[in-house]
Amino acid sequence: MMKWLLIIAGIVCVPFMLGMVGFGVFNSARVNGVEAFDKSRSEQYYHDGDHVYYVQGGNFFELGKRLLEMADLETFTVLSNAYAKDKQQVYFSGEVIPEADAQTFELLFADSDQKESIYSRDCQQVFFFRLPVAGADAETFVNIGGGYGVDKHQFYYDGEPMSVPAASYEYLGADGGHAYLAIEEQVYYQGRLLVGAVPESFTVLENNFARDKDKVYFYGTPVVEADADSFEVINQWIQKDDQRVFFDAEPLPFGDPATAEDVDGYFWKDKDAVYEGKKRLLGVKPAWFGKTDADSFREYKYQEVKIDEYTSRYVKRSKLDWLSEGYFTYEGAVFHHSQGLLEAASAINVKVYGAGFEHWYIVLDGKAYFGNTVIDGADADHFQPLGRNFSTDGKQVFWSAFPVVGLHPADFNVEEADYPEEGEDGRYYLKEA
Chain segment 383-407, per-residue pLDDT in tens: 999 999 999 999 999 999 999 999 9
How far apart CA 108 and CA 27 sit, in angstroms, is 32
How far apart CA 136 and CA 119 sit, in angstroms, is 11
What is the pLDDT, as a whole number, of residue 312? 97
How far apart CA 91 and CA 68 sit, in angstroms, is 10
Position 413 in a domain:
yes
Secondary structure (3-state) at 98? coil
The model's pLDDT over 230-273, given as tens digits with 9 standing for 90+, comes to 999 999 999 999 999 999 999 999 999 999 999 999 999 999 99
Domain boundary among 96, 111, 138: 96
Position 175 in a domain:
no
How far apart CA 201 and CA 287 sit, in angstroms, is 37
Chain-centre distance for alpha carbon 338: 19
Position 5 in a domain:
no
Domain boundary among 63, 96, 129: 96
Residue 252's identity, in one-letter code, is L
Task: Return the beta strands (E) in 260-310 as ranges.
Answer: 261-262, 267-269, 274-276, 279-281, 302-308
Q: How far is CA 115 from CA 70, 148, 158, 355, in A?
A: 26, 17, 18, 47
Position 408 in a domain:
yes
Residue 57's identity, in one-letter code, is G
Position 374 in a domain:
yes
For the chain of 433 residues, list the mean pLDDT of each consecutive stretch of 10: 47 47 58 90 94 92 85 97 96 95 96 90 97 96 97 97 96 92 97 96 96 96 96 97 97 97 96 97 96 95 95 96 94 94 86 86 95 95 94 96 94 92 94 65
Rg (CA), the chain: 29
What is the pLDDT, as a whole number, of residue 432? 66
Q: How far is CA 311 from CA 264, 277, 286, 307, in A?
A: 19, 10, 15, 5
Chain-centre distance for alpha carbon 121: 31
What is the pLDDT, as a whole number, of residue 24? 47
Neighbours of 261 (CB within 10 A): 13
Residues 6+ positions from 127 with CB-CB distance below 8 Å: 97, 100, 119, 120, 121, 133
Domain boundary among 96, 119, 150: 96
Position 421 in a domain:
yes
The domain tally of the chain equals 2
What is the pLDDT, as a whole number, of residue 355? 76
Which domain does 34 fall in, by range? 24-96
pTM for this prediction: 0.78
H-state helical runs in 27-124: 60-63
Position 240 in a domain:
no
